[in-house]
Amino acid sequence: MKRICIYTLICFLSIGLSHAQVDRTKYPEPGPAPQINIGDAETFTLPNGLKVFVVENHKLPRVTYSLMLDRSPLLEGDKAGLTSLVGDMLMGGTKSRTKDQIDEEIDMIGGRISFGSTSANASSLTKYQDKLLTLFADILLNPSFPQSELDKLKKQAISGIASSKDSPDEISGKVSNVVLYGKDHPYGEFATEKTVSNVQVADIKQYYNTYFKPNIGYLAIVGDITKQEAERLTKQYFGDWQQGEVEKSTWPIPAAPQGNEVILVNRPTSVQSVVNITYPLALKHNDADAIPAQLLNNILGGGSAGRLFTNLRERKGYTYGAYSSLSPDKIVGNFSASASVRTEVTDSAIYEFLEELKRIDKKTITEQEVADSKAILSGSFGRSLEQPATIARFAINTELYDLPKDYYKNYLQNLNAVTVEQLNTLAPKYIKPANAYIVVVGNTDAFKDQVAQFGAVKYYTNTGEPEVKTSVQDSSLTAEKVVDKYLDAIGGKEKLADVKTLKSVQEAEIQGMKITAELLVDQTKPIAVQSMKMGPQVMSKFIIYQDKATMINQGQEQEVPAEMFKSLKNALEIFPELNYAKNGTKLSLDGMVKANDEDAYKVIVTSADGTKSVNYYSVASGLKLKSESASDGEAEINEYKDYNGIKLPAVSTIKSPNIPVPLKMVAVEQVINPAFNEADFQ
Amino acid sequence: MNKIKLVKGGLLLGMLGFAGMLNAQEKIQFKEFKLDNGLNVIMHQDKTTPIAAVSVLYHVGSKNEKPDRTGFAHFFEHLLFEGSEHIGRGEFMKKIQGIGGTLNAYTSNDQTYYHEVVPSNYLETALYMESERMLHAKIDSVGVETQREVVKEEKRQRMDNQPYGSILTEVLKRAYHKHPYQWAPIGSMEHLNAASLQEFMDFYKTYYVPNNAVLSIAGDIDYDQTEKWVRKYFAEIPKGEKEIVRPSIVEPKRNEEIRDIVYDNIQLPAVVEAYNLPRKDSPDSYALNMLSTYLAGGKSSLLTKEVVDKQQKAVQIMALPLDLEDGGLFLFLGIANMGVSADSLEIAIDEQIEKVRTAGITDKDFAKLKAQTENAVVSRHASVAGIAESLAEAKVYYGDANDVNKELANYNKVTKQDLQRVAQEYLNKNGRVVLHYLPKKAETK
């Protein structure tokens, strides 16, 4: 009896337990969907045309001011980079405050102020709001644009450009924009060392006077503030801002390529290839297709649930992430699908990308994908409302992109109304697997043959220039003839053979310091002396003989290593081309390319000891434009001058692994056949 | 991460217009309880937006790894998305996104953090899913193979292929000789390749257990209902039986400077300086955070003003405070301007640090620093996800979630003299690590 009792008890207990056990085999049912409330922004316009939006939110005692200027895209041309300097120039000083004072006063209230060329932001705790606005308005209305600030900013920008040449992502972005829009389009141009150095204070002033006008401005005020206060404060601080006419401009819409084109940028140190499949797209924010296109992109590659991520990362493990974007724009939008993939799978990854693009065009979108993507987009919409700035952004976007007044109020409803059929019909209109640029930045030698299957291959440089290589039309032309033409162009073999000695003094500037390089050559001995001075101080001095070279160090003469001598001994020959035939140098003509923006013959020079270098000779003038080698780096000849009927380089640019910046050398003294005495070579 | 940036609060006295003193923080209200299996649970209610943040902080990071199996904790950050007994492969991300949520995870030297933000009617779903991966995550050879490749690509993309991407790895291996902080969370690909499935299983059973985790939930929630769901899904998860290994070794104080050159694919040289910090829970942490802001936070910070603006020796100088449980690093990175050598930049940075050590800071700068700190503390926690994270971290590292409400008071205790004192004590040339990042082409010349 007792035993039964216990059994019953155990039985009860176990039933009890199994009832309490959680059903883990399926997801819990969600609760009823919460109401999503989209607040309204209050709005008013100042007499000068500045349109103000106010979003009250008193959760934190802070307030943020965001200004946006609505101007047409701008082609900066030979001053590209100008707009990127405008914001910091505004922050560089006002009529009554230096930059130091501005920075100091902002930090004193723990606030933040930043300016761009079409935007500005300021935020602080509410209690410091008056001080914040005093500074914000002073920067906006009374900038002084000091020259010293521009000099500094230009220097930083140029440093930035130098470092961007090594970043595969930046190279990819730059080259993609060039092929998409062309360099003569606001979206395709980019800043170079040269264009940035062209920017003057007057250009910044002109930009400011043209575009910083209240009548093209939207000011969003978000946070711990009321509409009434906002009206009082904006009138007080921005009421005096003068309006002015701002012209609109229009830009051409570039077409997608007829067939796929493969654009390669060689970065031999890469362990990964940055792949970007991209083409321009006519899609505006207020198009009826804009919301369906967002869903379409989300299904393809919007995130970690997208087809691209699932395939290239989760199934294949080619990459850390693969995504796509389909961006609407006021002028011309674009599609982009990209990933960083390891070098060995570059071609396989491109293949998979294109397969996914093709597949989505074949009516393969499912109900489940559409439902999931709707949830993703509506979820992100809902979450974004946690930040009060979102409401202000909605109000400004409605104006900027000419959206229907209730666009955001109806967004979720319109999103949910999109059907599978609609998306399957729409896909081929926006996803173009056969009209794309396939831009690859990586170690191209490892895969250039394999990627040719995807389309015609073009090479670009890491500075965004096309690397055009064409075969030479005239089949009778040889490297020897190119070299002869060069010798003729600089004075002719006979004259050149008479040059026995040379003195050349050149100057360059680095960090405000003057560098002087002096070269003395006497071919009859033969002997040469090469010295380098920084300011008045001798940095290095080499004496080069037929069979060795020495370095003078604090009065001591010391022989240099063999490798260094190999490079130094070139100095013994004033015109090395003159001796190619005699000393066993081998030449080969490797087609035509661009060098310093000119058509040039590329000649590969292999000296008797096997050292290789490459010379570029102008097709038009015959002159040597550039030479490069692994050991000595690159020398561009920018200008020749005539010295007694012989042309010598007068301005050249040296890029070498041993110097951090390109050096622009300007000849200050060049003498042909000077008389030397013994002391000159000590 | 910089603690200043992670602190939250509001102002009670703000309306009175007091300035010059840090005011009291607005209190973050929360409820907490502990399950029998050791899981700590913290809840914070904020009904303004219909979303809920759910996060699990596992107190395991790269410092819990064996020296010949580095990269495990970070590998689990990936592996635990592979699915569980009831959630199919790849379904975790799909499901969260499919209900309109978002998710992510990260791994540090001290912790692995998983988090989701979902529409509030899906709170139960998110809790169920987190409980699934704590109870029986899917750890099999298919998942391990796939994620191995993904992690290798992550390393290539974020470190090998990025200029200056290897800084953390290079600094850590020189700054720590005994403590497992000597390797970075990304770890060694060779170790991941060599590890067997059983080793992964053991690591999971040791560290991804309720008694080594904090579950925090913030947003549009009902306290009672949330607690019921937590108990429903997490109470049955067994307590971990294996010993949780926490390094007890104290990195010995070094008395000599360590310097080295790293060649990287870069154009501009860079200087990295790393000084040893005390344990995260040291009272000096607050003064050190303020010192870091003084030196390199904001446009009028000392190094930016002097070395970037005036001397133009650097393009940028950043403070990258690595605030770790057993004592992290006070890390600077300066990227040289064109034509400036690493040596000359280093001298310029050191000059400024020496200035603080010998002369301290002015009253005006101290007032400024207080305003910056106040703004950072108040501005923190504009999101429920941020609140969930701070509550969990406070619980783990300070033993008390309510520590989030004491930040401002703790900063208030710091004096001007403290700043000079910590500069003298910690920013010491003896024992620091100095790295010069130089362009690779300079190496092969």
User: For A553-604, how does the pLDDT look when each residue is reduced to its tens digit (9 = 90+)?
Assistant: 666 777 877 777 877 888 888 998 988 888 888 998 888 887 777 888 989 8
Band the pLDDT of A661: cuts 50, 70, 90: low
* CATH code of the domain made up of A479-681: 2.50.20.10
**Shortest Cα–Cα distance, B326 to chain A (Å):** 31
Question: Is residue B20 predicted with pLDDT exceeding 60?
Answer: no
Chain-wide mean pLDDT for chain A?
88
pLDDT value of position A63: 92
Inter-chain residue contact B90 with A32, CB threshold 8 Å:
no
Interface test with B, best of A163, A172, A193, A367 (most B CBs within 10 A): A163
Question: Is residue B8 predicted with pLDDT exceeding 50?
Answer: no
Which uninterrupted H or E stretch holds A414? helix A411-417
Q: In angstroms, rounded to a whole number, what is the distance separating the alpha carbons of residues A128 and A233?
A: 13
Taking contacts as CB-CB distances below 8 angstroms, the residues of chain B near A660 are 267-269, 338-339, 341, 439
Q: In angstroms, rounded to a whole number, what is the distance separating the alpha carbons of residues A604 and A115?
A: 50
A 10 A CB-CB count for A351 gives: 15
Taking contacts as CB-CB distances below 8 angstroms, the residues of chain B near A167 are 162-163
Instruction: Give the three-state DSSP class for A199.
Output: coil
Residues 28-57 of A with CB under 8 A from B: 28-36
Inter-chain residue contact B339 with A270, CB threshold 8 Å:
no
Among the residues of A442-586, which ranges form H helices?
479-489, 493-497, 562-568
pLDDT value of position A3: 42
In the sheet that B433-439 helps form, which strands lie side by side, from edge to edge?
B258-264, B433-439, B270-276, B329-336, B314-319
Token readout for B421 is: 């004192």
Q: In angstroms, rounded to a whole number, what is the distance separating the alpha carbons of residues B337 and A416?
A: 52
Q: In angstroms, rounded to a whole number, what is the distance separating the alpha carbons of residues A601 and A472?
A: 8
Burial class (CB in 10 A: 0-12, 13-18, 19+), A129: buried
Mean pLDDT of B209-229: 97
Torsion sign across C-alpha atoms B207, B209, B212, B218: positive
Taking contacts as CB-CB distances below 8 angstroms, the residues of chain B near A151 are none
Q: In angstroms, rounded to a whole number, what is the distance separating the alpha carbons of residues A566 and A561?
A: 9
Instruction: Give the three-state DSSP class for A647.
Output: strand
Q: In angstroms, rounded to a whole number, what is the distance separating the alpha carbons of residues A281 and A332?
A: 6
Residue that the structure tokens 């193979």 belong to: B145
A317 lies within 8 A of chain B by CB: yes
Q: Is the pTM of this model over 0.95?
A: no
pLDDT value of position A512: 63
Taking contacts as CB-CB distances below 8 angstroms, the residues of chain B near A24 are 85-86, 128, 132, 135
Inter-chain residue contact B50 with A106, CB threshold 8 Å:
no
* CATH code of the domain made up of B258-443: 3.30.830.10
Residues 127-186 of B with CB under 8 A from A: 128, 132, 135, 145-150, 152-154, 156-158, 160-163
Closest chain B residue to the Cα of A64, Cα to Cα = B379
A 10 A CB-CB count for B409 gives: 12
Among the partner residues A163, A271, A660, nearest to B163 by beta-carbon distance: A163
Band the pLDDT of A549: cuts 50, 70, 90: confident
- In the 3-class helix/strand/coil scheme, how is B15-70 assigned residue by residue? HHCCCCCCCCECCCCCEEEECCCCCEEEEEECCCCCEEEEEEEECCCHHHCCCCCC
Interface test with A, best of B148, B338, B372 (most A CBs within 10 A): B338
Mean pLDDT of A144-167: 87
Token readout for A319 is: 């990459």
What is the 3-state composition of chain A as percent helix, strand, coil, each rounded to the nearest 5?
35, 30, 35
Query: Is A89 in contact with A417 (CB distance < 8 Å)?
Result: no
Query: Is A542 in contact with A568 (CB distance < 8 Å)?
Result: yes
With a pLDDT cut of 70, the percent of chain A lying above it is 94
B415 lies within 8 A of chain A by CB: no
Alpha carbon of residue B334 to chain centroid:
21
Taking contacts as CB-CB distances below 8 angstroms, the residues of chain A near B14 are 61, 125-127
Amino acid identity at A361: D
Pairing of strands B31-34, B433-439: unpaired
User: For A317-336, how does the pLDDT look when each residue is reduced to its tens digit (9 = 90+)?
Assistant: 899 899 999 999 988 999 99
User: For A195-221, how does the pLDDT look when each residue is reduced to its tens digit (9 = 90+)?
Assistant: 999 999 999 999 999 999 999 999 999
pLDDT value of position A660: 56
Which has the higher per-residue pLDDT, A661 or B170?
Answer: B170
Closest chain B residue to the Cα of A345, Cα to Cα = B153
Fold of A261-388+398-467: Cytochrome Bc1 Complex; Chain A, domain 1 (3.30.830)
Torsions phi, psi for A592 (to 5 deg): -115, 135
DSSP B14: G
CA atoms within 13 A on the CB side of A544: 22
User: For B21-73, how does the pLDDT look when each residue is reduced to its tens digit (9 = 90+)?
Assistant: 444 456 889 999 999 999 999 999 999 889 999 999 999 999 999 999 999 99
Pairing of strands B270-276, B329-336: antiparallel
Inter-chain residue contact B161 with A163, CB threshold 8 Å:
no
Which one of A153-162, A382-391, B172-181, B432-441 scores highest in mean pLDDT?
Answer: B172-181
Band the pLDDT of B14: cuts 50, 70, 90: very low
Residue that the structure tokens 């321009």 belong to: A280
User: For B356-414, how does the pLDDT look when each residue is reduced to its tens digit (9 = 90+)?
Assistant: 999 999 999 999 899 888 888 877 778 899 999 999 999 999 999 999 999 888 999 99
Inter-chain residue contact B268 with A159, CB threshold 8 Å:
yes
Mean pLDDT of B179-189: 93
Among the partner residues B157, B266, B312, nearest to A320 by beta-carbon distance: B157
Residues 194-233 of B with CB under 8 A from A: 220, 232-233
Question: Is residue B82 predicted with pLDDT exceeding 60?
Answer: yes
Per CATH, B37-234 and B258-443 having the same topology is answered yes
Instruction: Give the three-state DSSP class for B224.
Output: helix
Which has the higher per-residue pLDDT, A475 or A245?
Answer: A245
User: For B298-335, how does the pLDDT look when each residue is reduced to its tens digit (9 = 90+)?
Assistant: 778 899 999 998 888 898 898 877 899 999 999 989 99
With a pLDDT cut of 90, the percent of chain B lying above it is 62
Torsion sign across C-alpha atoms A469, A471, A473, A477: positive
Beta strand segments in B344-392, E: none
Enumerate the CATH 3.30.830.10 domain ranges in chain A, comma separated.
42-166+189-238, 261-388+398-467
Residues composing chain B: 445
* CATH code of the domain made up of A42-166+189-238: 3.30.830.10
Enumerate the CATH 2.50.20.10 domain ranges in chain A, comma separated.
479-681
Question: Is residue A422 predicted with pLDDT exceeding 90?
Answer: yes
Band the pLDDT of A630: cuts 50, 70, 90: low
Q: Which residues pair with A504 in a beta bridge?
A: A519, A670
B189 lies within 8 A of chain A by CB: no
Fold of B37-234: Cytochrome Bc1 Complex; Chain A, domain 1 (3.30.830)
Query: Is A649 in contact with A640 (CB distance < 8 Å)?
Result: yes
Residue that the structure tokens 């001298």 belong to: B347
Taking contacts as CB-CB distances below 8 angstroms, the residues of chain B near A109 are 371, 375
Band the pLDDT of B15: cuts 50, 70, 90: very low
Which has the higher per-residue pLDDT, A593 or B204?
Answer: B204
Residues 301-330 of B with CB under 8 A from A: 301, 305, 309, 312, 315
Band the pLDDT of B422: cuts 50, 70, 90: very high
Closest chain A residue to the Cα of B82, Cα to Cα = A314
Query: Is A176 in contact with A437 (CB distance < 8 Å)?
Result: yes
Taking contacts as CB-CB distances below 8 angstroms, the residues of chain B near A113 are none
Q: In angstroms, rounded to a whole number, what is the distance separating the alpha carbons of residues B68 and B187?
A: 10
A564 lies within 8 A of chain B by CB: no
**Shortest Cα–Cα distance, A124 to chain B (Å):** 7
Which has the higher per-residue pLDDT, B157 or A49?
Answer: A49
Inter-chain residue contact A61 with B122, CB threshold 8 Å:
no
pLDDT value of position B25: 55
Residue that the structure tokens 């930043």 belong to: A114
Question: Is residue A496 predicted with pLDDT exceeding 50?
Answer: yes
Amino acid identity at B195: A
Q: In angstroms, rounded to a whole number, what is the distance separating the alpha carbons of residues B285 and B404?
A: 14
Pairing of strands A501-510, A469-470: unpaired
Q: In angstroms, rounded to a whole number, what is the distance separating the alpha carbons of residues A463 and A7?
A: 83
Closest CA to B373 of B306, B286, B302: B286
Burial class (CB in 10 A: 0-12, 13-18, 19+), A422: middle
Question: Is residue A428 predicted with pLDDT exceeding 90?
Answer: yes
Instruction: Give the three-state DSSP class for B125.
Output: helix
Query: Is A224 in contact with A58 (CB distance < 8 Å)?
Result: yes
Which residue ranges make up each domain of chain B? 37-234, 258-443
Token readout for A129 is: 């709001």
Inter-chain residue contact A126 with B102, CB threshold 8 Å:
no
